[in-house]
A and B are shown apart, each in its own frame.
Chain A
Amino acid sequence: MARHIAHRLMISLPVLLGVLMIGFLLLQVVPTDPATVSAGPSATKADIAAIRLQMGLDQPIWLQFFKYITRVLQLDLGRSMISNRAVVDEIGFTLGPTVELMFASLIWAAPLGILLGSLAARRHGSWIDRAIMALSVMGVSVPVFWIGLMLIQHVGGAGLLPFQGRDGPLWTLAGLKSIVLPAVTLGSVFVGPVARMTRTSMLETLAADYVRTARAKGLTEWKVTMHHGLRNALIPVVTLIGLQIGFLLGGSVVTETMFAWPGVGRMAVGAITSSDFPLAQGAILILAIGFLSVNLLVDVIYAGLDPRIGSAGG
């Protein structure tokens, strides 16, 4: 167990370093001189030189990288080139809405996926199974932006639900209403994968010895499925849902952009297209770190749940 966690941490470190390098690189490749940009349009040559010194742009690159890491550790991610706000502040604004959106999508998509998956596994080979699997493969194949476009056009356009951004936090009525369409959009691409995972996992468990024993004891098929099948199948499913946060993240960048949802993903896209490198760097950094932490957490929980993991490498 401890070894497993240590192992996961070991993997996370180079990933973190990689993320930091990308973040650092982003600040290096600015097409226009960062000192000139941050000095503003009315700056003189002397101003720019002063800022260059102040930003440490004259130092060797490895030292700059080291300093960059130190700054990041102190949560100093620099200032946005456009708004001149601290990047950390900007992320503070956007982190909440993104987490909210992911939560609201997971909360309905994961149970629905598990339900459909176990239904398919129980009726393995029947038309229900085939229908659910067909639906789920469609779910994996549909571009998330298409679902969003259709929802905006037909549900939003009919005046049924708001779609023009976040009207408040999740626990207020206005906030709740405004999150429905984005969460439906984002969650809908998640149901399919979860259903497929559950089905495969259930089929494996249902074929296991202890389930056969349970059946032999004369338990009803439903009880067997629920008590032995689902419960044991859920461990890998829950883990995989955690690991699929990356998949969800991909969808959330698109969903946020479409629904004017003020989250990290939309900020990242906006920062990249407007060449606001410090902000882009901060957004990518926070997305990667968030993803890493969730992965790590899920992994640790999994290791706790499943005793077999203890010794196996990865």
Chain B
Amino acid sequence: MVKRFVATAVVTAAAALAVASPAFAQKTVTVLREIDTDKYDPQKSTSRSGGEVMYMMGDTLVNLDFDMKTLKPGLATSWSVSPDGLTYTFKLRDDVSFCSGKKMTAKDVVATYERWLDPETKGLVKWRMGDVDKVTATDDTTVEYKLKKPFSELLYQMTQYFHTIINIDQAKQLGADFGVKGFDGTGPYCFESWTPRDSTVLTKHAGYKWGPAIYDATEAQVDKVIWKIIPEENTRVTALQTDATAVSQYVPYWSLKDLIADKKLSTTKAENYFWSYFIGFKVDHELVNDVKVRQAMNLAVDQKALTEAVTFGFAEPADTMLEPGVLDFDPKLDKAKYGENTKTAEALLDEAGWKKGPDGFRYKDGKKLAPVIYGIAGQFKEVAEAVQGDLRKVGIDLQIQLFDATVAWGKLATQEFDAFGMSFPYVSAGDALNLYFRSANTPTPNRMNWKDKETDELLDKGMMATDDASRAAAYKAVQEKLHDAFVWIPLYHEPLYVVAGSKLKPIRAHGNYGCGLYKGLGIAFK
């Protein structure tokens, strides 16, 4: 044990030394971020900070274009779907190898999925695979992916980093340390070292040439990428302003105005990026089970002012649950239902039987309209306080309880609260709706307790659809239903900006899972 301790220290020192030695000919870029990941195992980590590095270290069968709608070849050059929507056949590239030098074949794809399916692995978010029957390799370059039930989302899900193809030999060899001490993928960059809470170092994958066609380059343009954790907002911003080779998408709203105005830096915004902030109601809880109350609360909240204040006007105030640019979004929704209108809100509350008491708050049968809201401490604090202020104007006394991130997820799985605040990324309408509104997903992630047979049927219909039109129709119907039931108060849709230092070319920001650098092929020196 002592030996191991010493060995770790020595290895760290050596690794740190390697990082530090200024290789003048090398092109090194530092990516600044706020928090570290828990691990780099695509099947066991759902954090964005894990995902953004795994997109660079590994590849998926299918890639997603900047429009977040068009599918592009990845490790698979082409694919076909059987008419019943149950069998997907992927044709793989023949020229792909892992960082370790091992050639990638259909066997690796199969092994990756088998590992995820194996209960022993304790993999997360398995629904992202659909209801898998069997994944088989027909030959070295052909994979057959068989489902028990159609899953119209599958190809989009396959663009998510969870589906990254890994070298199973290494995963087996490292065991619990896979994704901690090592990672072997086929991506444009290779894992070199990870010092938790400090930095992750990636080096260029020599011989990589299978980058998606959405980029100008098919291989990495820099030799080394250092992902560095800088939790302090102010330090991160100052670092971006002073370090000519720094990149970051974790730029606080307050600094954006200055950063965009800074001629030395280049700041780009992801054209399509879906990460929304909302407040959800437990629709079966006494205080908020009346649709009129929920609508009133929606009308009381001034999204525009809130967004302006909290995000310095950089986010988009929401009047629908989902971002309008997302696949299968329903443009026919009545947006007026969600704007600010305190007069109507008051009338609705009166109608629902909640009368104003002498203290300015509303009561019904001696009960005060004081719903409890749970959330994660951090940025939601400001949001919650702004919402609290708006609701107070119509006589609702919102009780805010915030928890530290580690405790919060447990708390949010309980039935203790009436409403909760959250934000989430999604790739399509179906992605978001299937996650949050299936009866089977109560109490979490369906924290709304939304148990509705028709919704379930529509979601099934969307999921099993074998053509785009019927899938879209089913999901649009669900959106309409939820929109009119006011299960959420949509707050705002977050933007994603990528800032690059003066020595670097502007980097086109991608919106996939909120990982703005995506494959990292856009990082290049001027």
Contact = CB atoms under 8 A, between A and B. Distances in A.
Interface of A: 31-32, 40-43, 74-76, 81-85, 88-93, 95-96, 149, 152-153, 156-159, 162-169, 172-175, 257-260, 262, 266-267, 270, 273-276
Contacts of A267: 197
10 contacts: A75-B2, A83-B39, A83-B196, A84-B180, A93-B12, A95-B9, A96-B16, A157-B238, A165-B229, A174-B20
A152 B122 contact: no
A168 to B, nearest CB: 2
A156 B180 contact: no
B21 A260 contact: no
A164 B195 CA distance: 15
Contacts of B231: 257, 260
A82 B238 contact: no
Interface string B384-406: 00000000000000000000111
Interface residues of B, number: 45
Contact of B22 (A43, A149, A169, A173): A173
B230 A164 contact: yes
Contacts of B241: 157
Nearest to B176: A84
Interface string B207-250: 00000000000000000000011111011101101110000000
Contacts of A274: 404-406
B235 A152 contact: yes
A266 B36 CA distance: 14
Contacts of A83: 38-39, 180, 196
Contact of B122 (A43, A76, A90, A259): A43
Contact of A32 (B122, B242, B407): B407
B406 A275 contact: yes
Interface in B10-44: 12-13, 16-17, 19-22, 32, 38-39
Contacts of A270: 197
B36 to A, nearest CB: 8
B9 A168 contact: no
Interface of A is mostly: loop
Contacts of B234: 149, 152-153
Contact of A168 (B5, B16, B404, B405): B16
Interface of B: 1-2, 4-5, 8-9, 12-13, 16-17, 19-22, 32, 38-39, 122-124, 176, 180, 195-199, 228-232, 234-236, 238-239, 241-243, 404-407, 410
Contact of B407 (A92, A173, A262, A275): A275
Contact of A74 (B1, B176, B242, B410): B1
Nearest to B409: A41
Contacts of B13: 96, 169
A262 B406 contact: no
B122 A42 contact: yes
Given A83-B180, A159-B242, A262-B195, A31 B407 contact: yes
B12 A266 contact: no
Given A41-B124, A274-B405, A260 B232 contact: yes
A86 to B, nearest CB: 8
B228 A82 contact: no
A164 B407 contact: no
Contacts of A41: 124
B274 to A, nearest CB: 24
Contact of A90 (B20, B196, B230): B196
A101 B407 CA distance: 33
Contacts of B32: 164
Contact of A156 (B5, B17, B238, B406): B238
B406 A276 contact: yes
A40 B196 contact: no
B242 A156 contact: yes
Contacts of A260: 198, 228-232, 235
- In the A-B complex, the 3 residue pairs with the smallest Cβ-Cβ separation, listed nearest first, are A168-B20, A92-B8, A262-B198
Contacts of B22: 172-174
Contacts of B230: 164-165, 260
A74 B241 CA distance: 47
A31 to B, nearest CB: 6
Contact of B5 (A88, A152, A158): A88
Most buried by A among B22, B124, B239, B241: B239
Given A93-B12, A152-B238, A156-B235, 17 more contacts: A43-B122, A74-B1, A82-B38, A84-B38, A85-B196, A88-B4, A88-B8, A91-B5, A96-B12, A96-B13, A162-B243, A164-B235, A164-B239, A165-B228, A167-B20, A174-B20, A260-B229
Given A96-B12, A164-B228, A84 B39 contact: yes
A47 to B, nearest CB: 9
Contacts of B16: 96, 166, 168-169, 175
B5 A92 contact: yes
B446 to A, nearest CB: 16
A270 B39 CA distance: 16
Nearest to A85: B180
B20 A169 contact: yes
A175 B122 contact: no
A260 B238 CA distance: 13
Contact of A88 (B1, B39, B232, B236): B1
A168 B20 CA distance: 5
Contact of B196 (A31, A93, A95, A159): A93
Contacts of A152: 234-235, 238
A89 B124 contact: no
A168 B16 CA distance: 5
Most buried by B among A149, A162, A166: A166
Contacts of A93: 8-9, 12, 195-196, 198
Contacts of A81: 406
